[in-house]
Amino acid sequence: MSDAPRYWTPAFVERFVEAMNSDEEFQDTADDFSKTVELRCLDTPDGEDVSATYTFEDGQVVDVDLWIDEAPSKEMREEPVDKSAVMARATAPYDVWVRMDKGEMGAAEALASPDYQIEGSMMQIMSNMGVFRGMNSVAASVEKTY
């Protein structure tokens, strides 16, 4: 039996952060990235909504704030994005995150999907697409189960 954590669990998030902070290719891409990014996953297999807020300093994740609530979390889903604290917030159901993780859905397809929502300054988001693609690539490389 594998000790691989399931996608979008606290154990996965922990391994994801370790992987981002140690992946040389990601570190080259995220070199001077010092922003906060919030990723939200709705309706996980555990019947939860999960919000993971990653704070970067010079490409390193220095803080992760994990919020897990029973789905559907009215409080989480209706919370406005704090654009003064978060550069970007991406929200999607679990199955969309899984499709992106498996490479079945690319960034452009996700952005066009009504199930995927990204909020924040589009200028900043577009100028940091390499970091977001890198995060997706690192997440995909982390051993996990679905």
CATH of the domain at 71: 3.30.1050.10
3 within domain boundaries: no
Tell me if 24 is assigned to some domain.
Answer: yes
Angle at 52 between CA 1 and CA 140, to 5 degrees: 50
Smallest CA-to-CA distance from 19 within 117, 115, 138, 140 is with: 138
Sheet holding 36-42, edge to edge: 60-70, 48-57, 36-42, 88-93, 117-120
How many structural domains comprise the chain?
1
Which domain, by its residues, includes 45?
10-134
Q: Which two tokens stand for residue 129?
A: 């697409």
Is residue 42 assigned to a domain?
yes
Asked if the structure places residue 116 within a domain, the reply is yes
User: C-alpha angle with apex 123: 116 to 54, nearest 5 degrees?
Assistant: 60
- Answer whether residue 113 is part of any domain: yes
| Residue 40 · residue 96 · CB < 8 Å | no
> How do the pLDDT tens digits run along the chain, 146 residues long?
568 999 999 999 999 999 999 999 999 999 999 999 999 999 999 999 999 999 999 999 999 999 999 999 999 999 999 999 999 999 999 999 999 999 999 877 888 899 999 999 999 999 999 999 999 999 999 999 99
Whether 105 is covered by a domain: the verdict is yes
